Amino acid sequence: LLDGQNGFAIHGVAAGDLSGNSVGSLGDINGDQIDDFIIGASGASPLDKIGAGSSYVVFGTDEGFPNPFELANLNGQNGFVLNGINAGDGAGFSVGRAGDINADGLADMLIGAGNASPNDLSKSGSTYVVFGDDTIFTDSFDEGGPET
């Protein structure tokens, strides 16, 4: 049984989110020398966009994690959420580490949205590359840019 000392559970935000359908280690995306991880939730419906999907980035810490860890409590200091752009995109169905593809010394990440329909190409899919950043993150943004 996980008790916070030997590990912890991470719970999704809402029914049907499919949180944890993909998970991945990212390396250090925020420059604090501690590895971070990502959790995909391709069924999430952020901002009433049904099935747009979300991906939750959780920053590693040397201060421990609560058990359970609630993804709804991400606040920009402990991690952030990346929301799919359009209803039905399923962003977060696949997530992964991209290495440091822009050579800035920080790990980068990949988010797959296999049901996305860019350029009016039905369900042709999209992959989003998100660069690591050592500045303060906001708590939430979509693959098209920061939420306003």
- Residue 148 placed within a domain: no
Tell whether 142 is covered by a domain. Answer: no
Q: What is the pLDDT of residue 143?
A: 61
Residue 3 covered by a domain: no
- 41: Cα separation from own chain's centroid: 8
Mean pLDDT by 10 residues, the chain (148 residues): 91 96 97 98 96 97 94 94 96 98 97 95 95 81 52
Give me the number of domains the chain comprises.
Answer: 1
Query: Is residue 138 one of the residues assigned to a domain?
Result: no
List the beta bridge partners of residue 8: none
pLDDT value at residue 133 = 92
Q: What is the pLDDT of residue 138?
A: 74
Instruction: Evaluate whether residue 100 is within a structural domain.
Output: yes
For residue 32, tell me if it sits in a domain. yes
Residue 73, domain extent = 10-132
Torsional sign, CA 19, 44, 60, 74: negative
- Ordered alpha helix ranges (H), the chain: none
Structural domain includes residue 144:
no
